[in-house]
Amino acid sequence: MNRLIYYDLCCWKQATTRKPLLLRGARQVGKTHVVRQLGQTFKNFVEINFEKTPQFKKIFEFDLDPVRIIKEISIALSVTISSLDTLLFIDEIQEAPRAIIALRYFYEEMPNLHVIAAGSLVDFAIEQVGVPVGRISFLHMYPMSFIEYLCASNHKLLAREIISHKPTDILSDPIHIKALRLLGEYMAIGGMPKVVHEWILKQNLQSCTAILDDIKNAYEQDFSKYAKKHQIKYVELLFKNIPRVICRPFKYSNIESDYKKRELEPALWLLEKAGIVHQVTHTAANGIPLGAEANLHKFKLLMLDVGLNQALLGLHLKDWFIDPLPSFVNKGNLSENFIGQEFLAYSNPIDKKQIYYWGTEKNGGNAEIDYVFSLQGLIVPIEVKSGHGATLQSMRVFLKSHPLSVYGIRFSTHNYSLHDDVHSYPLYAVSGIIGDKERLTALIDAS
């Protein structure tokens, strides 16, 4: 299955000057697979994994001389490593934090060698040893987007239509209904690559659910790797309870337990660091950058993946296949989580995307905008309406009070439409708004 980030890896490979690349992302989002795919374009591909072969960690303990390191890896694996035609891949690099520091010396002393490192918990190692500023490139990776799902399931023509469709033109009903049906499939299984691959091969929901359970268990087994012994119970509690409170202003009191904020807050930070949850931060949204008026004490939470979210809740998934429209209505928070997940998937992978929302409490009433984005120099409020609901009172309040916002966007099960200052898009069409057309086209052409 082809991934959007493969385009960025190819650009990195072909650059006349490059730095060692550190690929970041939660466990099982497909980092290893996509690097191996890139490795097929090299004459020699050399992979070491510090979890599977911990003896390689010793190579980095003596000193960080890249010439010696490459020589010893070559001897240990009986392979030739040449700067001209070799990709060296260091997987699970967080298991040997000194290897992260060594990337600096690969850049300084062996700049022609292609080096990629990856690790599902690498951010914890970076916190421990720091990162060589200006000497390493970064890419962030997330679960498969809906467009990636369409390409993997042989719906390239639909994918191409979505990324190029104009909001002024209504999509024909058969195509619109087909896109919503396929989105229902995606909402049921999510975007974790192993689950998507299983669904495409077997179309068996039970086997997909079993894989999601395995992923859930793998995340739980990781807790002891980055949480202190006394913190594990807090991390486990949040992991199991956050799926119930996604996409709502978060309060620690909503977590059913006797624990206080001072106990749960560090555990939440650990789950964010592991990439399992993402914060959507409140902003006043009066100017760009949106982060200039962010309130770090007010936030909502997204789960990494809608499929994983439902696996944690133990929800029945058949309705997404039988008739997805009622499911979009009844599971509105999942639809909002999906939109946030799509924003991350299509964002520039060089920087970790920060997502914002807006809300106010005045005159006894509440107004809240699900997401606020800066697009082409404008501040754009975004509402997610899981069904056919047309009430946009909060958007009206926002547009009236924010002169830099001349229009808003609504995502729903509606077709495309344009009404004055509200642009309506189907839930499946996030890529048509924020996706980089060149990257998306390259993905579709390669599929």
Angle between helices 193-202 and 173-189 (to 10 degrees): 120
Cα–Cα distance for residue pair 343/37, rounded to 1 Å: 25
Q: What is the mean pLDDT of residues 393-402?
A: 93
What average pLDDT does the chain have?
94
In the block, tokens 């850049």 appear at 107
Non-local (6+) Cβ contacts of 93 within 8 A are: 22, 50, 99, 100, 117, 118, 119, 122, 125
pLDDT at 364 over 80: no
User: Nearest CA to 235 among 225, 249, 250, 247?
Assistant: 225
pLDDT at 325 over 90: no
Q: What is the mean pLDDT of residues 235-244?
A: 96
As given in the structure block, the two tokens for residue 294 are 């962010």
* Verdict on whether the full-model pTM lies above 0.85: yes
Sign of the Cα torsion 274, 295, 366, 408 reads: negative
E strands present in 287-440: 294-303, 355-362, 365-375, 378-384, 408-412, 417-419, 422-426
CB-based contacts of 255-261 (< 8 A; 24+ apart in sequence) = 259/234
With a pLDDT cut of 70, the percent of the chain lying above it is: 98
Cα–Cα distance for residue pair 314/184, rounded to 1 Å: 17
User: Nearest CA to 88 among 68, 108, 116?
Assistant: 116
Q: What is the mean pLDDT of residues 375-390?
A: 82
pLDDT at 383: 96
User: Nearest CA to 277 among 227, 224, 219, 357?
Assistant: 219
The CA-based dihedral angle spanning residues 206, 25, 85, 62, taken in that order and rounded to the nearest 10 degrees: -120
CATH topology of domain 5-140: Rossmann fold (3.40.50)
As given in the structure block, the two tokens for residue 117 are 């490192």
Give the lowest-confidence range in 44-58, 91-105, 211-225, 319-333: 319-333
Q: What is the mean pLDDT of residues 275-303?
A: 96
Kindly report, residue by residue over 182-230, the tens digit of the pLDDT.
999 999 999 999 999 999 999 999 999 999 999 999 999 999 999 999 9
Alpha helices in 153-286 (DSSP H): 156-164, 173-189, 193-202, 205-226, 232-241, 261-273
pLDDT at 19 over 90: yes
pLDDT at 315: 86
For residues 431 and 145, is the Cβ–Cβ distance under 8 A?
A: yes
Q: Residue 412: helix, strand or coil by DSSP?
A: strand
pLDDT at 327: 86
For residues 169 and 417, is the Cβ–Cβ distance under 8 A?
A: no
For residues 62 and 155, is the Cβ–Cβ distance under 8 A?
A: no
Instruction: Give the H or E element holding residue 86.
Output: strand 86-91
pLDDT at 323: 85
User: Nearest CA to 22 among 126, 127, 142?
Assistant: 126
As given in the structure block, the two tokens for residue 50 are 């510090």
As given in the structure block, the two tokens for residue 39 are 């490795």
pLDDT at 261 over 80: yes
Cα–Cα distance for residue pair 131/145, rounded to 1 Å: 29
pLDDT at 390: 57
Instruction: Give the H or E element holding residue 243.
Output: none
Domain regions of the chain by residue span: 5-140, 146-446
Kindly report, residue by residue over 107-136, the tens digit of the pLDDT.
999 999 999 999 999 999 998 888 777 899
Cα–Cα distance for residue pair 142/26, rounded to 1 Å: 7
Q: Which residue has the higher pLDDT, 215 or 319?
A: 215
pLDDT at 99: 95
Question: With bands split at pLDDT 50, 70 and 90, how would you rate the model's confidence at 256?
Answer: confident
Non-local (6+) Cβ contacts of 117 within 8 A are: 20, 21, 22, 23, 89, 90, 91, 93, 99, 100, 103
439, with CB counted inside 10 A (0-12, 13-18, 19+), is: buried
For residues 114 and 18, is the Cβ–Cβ distance under 8 A?
A: yes
Cα–Cα distance for residue pair 111/381, rounded to 1 Å: 44
pLDDT at 412 over 90: yes
pLDDT at 388 over 70: no
As given in the structure block, the two tokens for residue 69 are 């390191």
